[in-house]
Structure 1
Amino acid sequence: MSESGSVSSSSQGSAQVKVTLPDGSERQYPAGTTLHDVAKSIGAGLARAALAARVNGQMKDMAAPLTTDATVNFVTPKNEEGVDVIRHTTAHLMAMAVQKLYPGTQVTIGPVIDNGFYYDFLFPAGVKVNEADFPKIEAEMQAIVKSDFPVARAVVTRDEAIKTFTEIKEHFKVEIIRDLPQGVEISVYKMGGWFDLCVGPHVPSTGKLGAFKLTSVAGAYWRGDEKNAQLTRIYGTAWGDKAQLDAYLTRLEEAKKRDHRVLGKQLELFSFHKEAPAHPFFHRKGYALFNSLMRFMRRSNDAFGFNEVGTPLVMNVELWHKSGHYDNYRDNMYFTQVDENEAAVKPMNCPGHCLIYANDRHSYRELPLRLSEFGRVHRHERSGVTHGLMRVRSFTQDDAHVFCTPDQIGEEIHRILDQIDKAYKGLGFAEYKVELSTRPEKSIGSDAVWNVAEAALQNALEKRGQAYKLNPGDGAFYGPKIDFHLVDSIGRTWQCGTVQLDFSMPARFDLEYVGSDDKMHTPVMIHRAVLGSIERFLGIFIEHYAGHFPVWAAPVQARVVNVSEDQREYAEKVYAELKAAGVRVEIDARREKLGYKIREAQLLKTPYMLVVGDKEQQTGEVTARFHDGKNLPAISVAAFVEHIKSECGDLWQL
């Protein structure tokens, strides 16, 4: 039903635009009416709360005029998009404050990222900014907020923009402008006497901001290239209100306590060394945990019909030309010489699986063929982006590839979704988010095959009742995909699993099968990863559990502790019995006080401490103490083994 807006035209003959709101209602306004005036006509509360609006699918400032009929959806601090607008403007706010405090500083880029924003700066020679400077910068930011400067957009010509930014010696901005395609609209946002090159949108005025905090500082390179200028990157977070900010900062503090790099050292799991930058060295306990995850996935793969294979680490470079990796990925690859021929250390496992498939003749009756591999891959990551186990240069991929006919896609996708769901829940991740990405503008394959593939993915998700986010046009050029984002125990999300349909690689490798019509056909290839990088997942696993691993996965499940030297021999007997029963056990028979040994076991987050004193030695029992300080009644060694087996369930001895 059409409604009349409260903004009246100056004359009855002026042009009108129709505005359709999210509830389906329609309103008429004079052409040129701003989004702010539209919000004001709906209600004073909306006018105060609205930060920007999505107009016909595009984000616009509140000062933007409406010149054509439009569907309008206002965003506020309660919307995810509204918070992103707040973060975007807060990045500008920080840059304005920094340039006021440190004259001569050049700004580069300042995007919105998950939970916040950053801005890269080139400070004058001799000026170094660190976290100790944050209170001063934040105080200046709050002063700008209090001034409530309007944030105004101005469209300028390329020549005007270059001239303006050259005059104020913003050389990075000039470079950005020169690199923009001809004909693209160039806009500048102003607040107070400060301005920046930006597409927008931004909040109406600086008074809409305030719930922010600067969080860290790091080094960066202009455009990510180590040959370019070294910059200072300041990170921050911003939210719709102080309560949201405080809740996030609490989560951030909790995340610091769970940092896998700190726990990795404390729990004696892994280390890094300058002799192999960004390549983890797994210690005894870390490798035990690593192998538990591997065995978990091997069992899962067996249950879902995958056949494990192995492919070489180094293969002739011609393979990577054929697969397309050389053209699209060579900057991230390592190369070597083998028998005077150029070879590459594999960055991915899929080409090797294609060679295995191509080794034999296949009939449609044999398909699907499911191959899995825990393949070691190497990818050259810049030193500035490597991060503990989360971003390394060598890692183990829990890869699998399914070769199937087009009409088998749906069933195979459903099988993989089932495997991923069971694996995540079995590993203690009750919640995950799913995204479906469809055909991009540039792609290969026929419309018919893409339609079948996208429908198969969508139907598989909907058949399971799985909620998902649709990302139109974000699929790979070779096929649509589903991505899985784990939600950890403190609410963070981590992209891990993926299911990708591939119409490109089978064709590149001339893969075929004999169809029911006795003609040769090209199979569809499905890429599947559940954990992704085992190393990265291990980092997530450590932080999810804060090092308090479930008993089945714990590198050391129990630690035998004697009260005094009198029980040393009995403690060693208990240790031997547990080890023989398959328990991952250690013994601490040092001549130290019991309290000291228990505290050390607690720091190592050992699930069970088995205390043996005179009483236990006389009765042939142990007193089992949980890492949180609670005790089980004294029980026999055999009973404890049964207890731990029961706790592990079908994951015992993984």
Structure 2
Amino acid sequence: MINIIFPDGNAKEFENNVTGFDIASSISISLAKIALAIEVDGELKDLNIPITKDAKIRIITPKDPEGLEIIRHDAAHIMAEAVKELYPDVQVTIGPAIENGFYYDFARNEPFTPDDLLIIEAKMREISKRDEKIVREEWDRDEAVAFFKKINEHYKAELIEAIPAGQVISLYRQGEFIDLCRGPHAPSTSKIKAFKLMKLAGAYWRGDSKNQMLQRIYGTAWADEKQLQDYLTMIEEAEKRDHRKIGKELNLFHLQEEAPGMVFWHEQGWTLYRIIEDYIRGKLQKNNYIEVKTPVLVDRSLWEKSGHWEKFREHIFTSESEEKVMALKPMNCPCHVQIFNYGLKSYRDLPLRMAEFGSCHRNESSGSLHGLLRVRGFVQDDAHIFCSEDMITSETVAFCKLLKEVYHDFGFDDFQVKFSDRPDVRAGTDETWDKAENSLKEAVIAAGHEFVLNKGEGAFYGPKLEFVLKDAIGRDWQLGTLQVDFILPERLDASYIGSDGHKHRPVMLHRAIIGTFERFIGVLIEQHAGKFPLWLSPSQFVVLTITSDGDEYAASVCKALSDVGMRGTLDISSEKVNYKIRKYSLLKVPVILVVGKQEMQDNSVSVRRLGSDEQVVISLEQLLKDLHTEAKVPC
């Protein structure tokens, strides 16, 4: 007999070699019907794998995150099976589950078309209805290589040949289709019902541009049809909110091939940028930060000392001058240490909160660039807090409070905190990492935030918190970060004189709230669909005339609003007023003011708000008071 412990702590005895399906069936028939896999002592396994010793288990269903990942992985296999049935000469390569869906890369001489996706999706539904059993098989490596070469799947053979000799290979078979995979998978294809193929793309074999270009088919898969339809609705709404499309319509910015990943800010976009910068600067001043400015081009030697050259070299742009290699800074932290090191620092100077709107550059691959959301040249709302170890908690609490205020002012009240611990490639000893991770965990708990573990995703010099916002249509955006760093101060010889008269190393807290201005503005555009709140809108009002008789009065209204700090324009063109109203509505100007003879006589204005057909007449005096109050920048 073996003892099985359930998540609630209860235990039950079973005969040896009990399977996950047996355990699920012993709980309820309904659970057995929806079960996808089983977690045994923290490891996911197929439902039909025998359990031969005492274990802690958890039945995985579509409601679990792991279950949803299994559904998406199964959908990838079903898509590959469908493609092979429809186009036998295609070679299948790699097909993982990804966020919100899955993809598979195929080698095929003839390009797939959007019409092909409809045909493949129909075949996938047929395979799902077949209820084909998904069965794990273990093969000898060389036997598996020979098999895949024989059936003309040379990409699969290459993948298997890279596995060490003598290692057992796991393959999964469903119907006539067999694929290399570690698993686990659901018991049968019938478990996968709510899916849709989304788009086509190109992808190099193994991500290397020197290799053959493959065809990638993306799909999405969900636990049920409602979740699928909710996601498709969200995607449709996201397309309407695409910051690249709205940015063009509102004349905010553009990008072009001559400067890939670099933004050309237009007048309205740069106005928005400066509003955000001024707001953040005000917050920094109120929270006792000093603002600095450091060079963009810095000698390679500093990046070697900091460790960035070794860990980050492929992302660093370089330039040579007088036989020296200079690096365009990819981040600001080593430069901030240079300012800290300039002159003697005392424990009385701590905490020293050093901020910079730092211009940075990173050599991101051209294929990863995406509007404002992924660029090569960017500016961070960056800051580094130099403090002693006993200040980590209080500084984290203060930072989290500031971050929450900023997010609220921009319309984000829903965010999640992720704790990213040590990556495989890192600097420093395990002892240092233990200290840093424990300090940060204690600090975030003290700040009152729950967190989820983001395993292995810390920076190479320390663990970090990642702050993930949820926008108006439910999408997640990772923006803010806080990192605890014991390593960089050591590498760059930062020190302060303690109360004991001896030198001590400061702790360095790397932190950002909005992250980069470019990405944050992209998120803001999509959050508000271009309809910014009045305080953020680059152009807050426009004054329109009905006839030329009102030109002089309209100009005086425009001046009065400008005098109280409002941003806006005057349109006294000869176009019909309804045309003008439509024009500025499309430009998403929040307040449209119309003046004619009656308004001129009454010293009033007709007010139309963006998105409303209602027009309200109020006195100019009242308008000035109302808009000045409404447009006030949050404190």
TM class by shorter chain equals over 0.9
The corresponding residue for 1:510 is: 493
Q: Give the 3-state SS of the residue equivalent to 2:232 in structure 1.
A: helix
The corresponding residue for 1:225 is: 208
Q: Give the 3-state SS of the residue equivalent to 1:149 in structure 2.
A: coil
Amino acid at match of 1:299: G
Alignment of 1:310 with 2:293, yes or no, is yes
Report how many residues are paired.
635
Alignment of 1:115 with 2:100, yes or no, is yes
Question: In structure 2, which of residues 599, 609, 614 is the aligned counterpart of residue 616 of structure 1?
Answer: 599
Question: In structure 1, which of residues 61, 85, 94 is the aligned counterpart of residue 70 of structure 2?
Answer: 85
What CA distance in whole angstroms lies between the structure 1 residues aligned with 2:251 and 2:282? 27
Superposed, which structure 2 residues align to 1:272-291 within 5 Å? 272-291=255-274
Q: Give the C-alpha shift of residue 388 in structure 1.
A: 0.8
The corresponding residue for 2:528 is: 545
Superposed, which structure 2 residues align to 1:502-651 within 5 Å? 502-631=485-614, 633-651=616-634
Alignment of 1:49 with 2:52, yes or no, is no
What CA distance in whole angstroms lies between the structure 1 residues aligned with 2:226 and 2:602? 56
Q: Give the C-alpha shift of residue 370 in structure 1.
A: 1.0
Alignment of 1:374 with 2:371, yes or no, is no
The corresponding residue for 2:191 is: 208
Q: Give the C-alpha shift of residue 106 in structure 1.
A: 1.9
Amino acid at match of 2:407: Y
Question: In structure 2, which of residues 299, 304, 321 is the aligned counterpart of residue 338 of structure 1?
Answer: 321
Q: Give the C-alpha shift of residue 224 in structure 1.
A: 2.2
Q: Give the C-alpha shift of residue 442 in structure 1.
A: 6.3
* Residue range with higher mean Cα deviation, 520-529 or 105-114: 105-114
Q: Give the C-alpha shift of residue 465 in structure 1.
A: 3.0
The corresponding residue for 1:10 is: none
Amino acid at match of 2:30: G
What CA distance in whole angstroms lies between the structure 1 residues aligned with 2:629 and 2:113? 51
Q: Give the C-alpha shift of residue 72 in structure 1.
A: 0.8
Amino acid at match of 2:440: L
Q: Give the C-alpha shift of residue 635 in structure 1.
A: 2.6
Q: Give the C-alpha shift of residue 508 in structure 1.
A: 0.9
Taking only the aligned residue pairs, the percentage that are identical comes to 45
Residues 40 and 624 (structure 1), Cα distance of their counterparts in 2 relative to 1, 3 Å cut: same
The corresponding residue for 2:86 is: 101
Q: For each residue in 1:74-98, what CA deviation from the matched residue of structure 2 results, as whole angstroms up to 9, or x when unmatched?
A: 1111222211110110011111112
Q: Give the 3-state SS of the residue equivalent to 2:170 in structure 1.
A: strand
Gaps spanning 5+ residues in structure 2: where?
Answer: none
Amino acid at match of 1:647: E
Alignment of 1:494 with 2:477, yes or no, is yes
Alignment of 1:189 with 2:172, yes or no, is yes
Question: In structure 2, which of residues 323, 336, 340 is the aligned counterpart of residue 353 of structure 1?
Answer: 336
Amino acid at match of 1:378: H
The corresponding residue for 1:38 is: 23
What CA distance in whole angstroms lies between the structure 2 residues aligned with 1:309 and 1:225? 40
Q: Give the C-alpha shift of residue 645 in structure 1.
A: 2.1
Question: In structure 2, which of residues 25, 37, 54 is the aligned counterpart of residue 69 of structure 1?
Answer: 54
Residues 444 and 325 (structure 1), Cα distance of their counterparts in 2 relative to 1, 3 Å cut: closer
What CA distance in whole angstroms lies between the structure 2 residues aligned with 1:129 and 1:549? 41
Superposed, which structure 2 residues align to 1:413-424 within 5 Å? 413-424=396-407
Q: Give the 3-state SS of the residue equivalent to 1:651 in structure 2.
A: coil
CA contact (8 A) 1:435 1:471 kept: yes
Residues 347 and 646 (structure 1), Cα distance of their counterparts in 2 relative to 1, 3 Å cut: same
Q: Give the C-alpha shift of residue 577 in structure 1.
A: 2.5
Question: In structure 2, which of residues 115, 119, 130 is the aligned counterpart of residue 132 of structure 1?
Answer: 115
What CA distance in whole angstroms lies between the structure 2 residues aligned with 1:606 and 1:182? 66
Amino acid at match of 2:158: E
The corresponding residue for 2:382 is: 399
Q: Give the C-alpha shift of residue 547 in structure 1.
A: 0.6
The corresponding residue for 1:295 is: 278
Q: For each residue in 1:13-32, what CA deviation from the matched residue of structure 2 results, as whole angstroms up to 9, or x when unmatched?
A: xxx22111112111222222
What CA distance in whole angstroms lies between the structure 2 residues aligned with 1:400 and 1:120? 42
Amino acid at match of 2:99: D
Amino acid at match of 1:438: D
* Residue range with higher mean Cα deviation, 69-78 or 622-631: 622-631
Amino acid at match of 2:131: D
Alignment of 1:156 with 2:139, yes or no, is yes
What CA distance in whole angstroms lies between the structure 2 residues aligned with 1:36 and 1:270? 56
What CA distance in whole angstroms lies between the structure 2 residues aligned with 1:180 and 1:533? 41
What CA distance in whole angstroms lies between the structure 2 residues aligned with 1:443 and 1:229? 33
The runs of at least 4 consecutive aligned structure 1 residues that moved more than 6 Å come to none
CA contact (8 A) 2:297 2:327 kept: yes
Superposed, which structure 2 residues align to 1:258-273 within 5 Å? 258-273=241-256
Question: In structure 2, which of residues 225, 231, 235 is the aligned counterpart of residue 248 of structure 1?
Answer: 231
What CA distance in whole angstroms lies between the structure 2 residues aligned with 1:330 and 1:444? 15
Q: Give the C-alpha shift of residue 623 in structure 1.
A: 1.2
Amino acid at match of 1:133: D
Q: Give the 3-state SS of the residue equivalent to 2:493 in structure 1.
A: coil
Question: In structure 1, which of residues 173, 186, 209 is the aligned counterpart of residue 156 of structure 2?
Answer: 173
Q: Give the C-alpha shift of residue 475 in structure 1.
A: 3.1
Q: Give the 3-state SS of the residue equivalent to 2:146 in structure 1.
A: helix
Residues 299 and 185 (structure 1), Cα distance of their counterparts in 2 relative to 1, 3 Å cut: farther
Amino acid at match of 1:298: R
Amino acid at match of 1:327: E
CA contact (8 A) 1:557 1:608 kept: yes
Alignment of 1:436 with 2:419, yes or no, is yes
Q: Give the C-alpha shift of residue 222 in structure 1.
A: 2.1
Q: Give the C-alpha shift of residue 474 in structure 1.
A: 4.2
Residues 649 and 185 (structure 1), Cα distance of their counterparts in 2 relative to 1, 3 Å cut: farther
Q: Give the 3-state SS of the residue equivalent to 2:406 in structure 1.
A: helix
What CA distance in whole angstroms lies between the structure 2 residues aligned with 1:354 and 1:122? 50
* Residue range with higher mean Cα deviation, 324-333 or 486-495: 324-333
Q: Give the 3-state SS of the residue equivalent to 1:384 in structure 2.
A: helix
What CA distance in whole angstroms lies between the structure 1 residues aligned with 2:85 and 2:263? 43
What CA distance in whole angstroms lies between the structure 2 residues aligned with 1:261 and 1:559? 24
CA contact (8 A) 2:409 2:634 kept: no
Amino acid at match of 1:461: V
Residues 183 and 462 (structure 1), Cα distance of their counterparts in 2 relative to 1, 3 Å cut: farther
* Residue range with higher mean Cα deviation, 322-331 or 551-560: 322-331
What CA distance in whole angstroms lies between the structure 2 residues aligned with 1:138 and 1:362? 66
CA contact (8 A) 1:219 1:384 kept: no
Q: Give the C-alpha shift of residue 439 in structure 1.
A: 4.2
CA contact (8 A) 2:316 2:329 kept: yes
Question: In structure 1, which of residues 11, 18, 23 is the aligned counterpart of residue 3 of structure 2?
Answer: 18
* Residue range with higher mean Cα deviation, 633-642 or 113-122: 633-642
Residues 31 and 525 (structure 1), Cα distance of their counterparts in 2 relative to 1, 3 Å cut: same
CA contact (8 A) 2:279 2:633 kept: no
Q: For each residue in 1:143-189, what CA deviation from the matched residue of structure 2 results, as whole angstroms up to 9, or x when unmatched?
A: 11111110111122221222122222323223322333566542111
Q: Give the C-alpha shift of residue 446 in structure 1.
A: 6.0
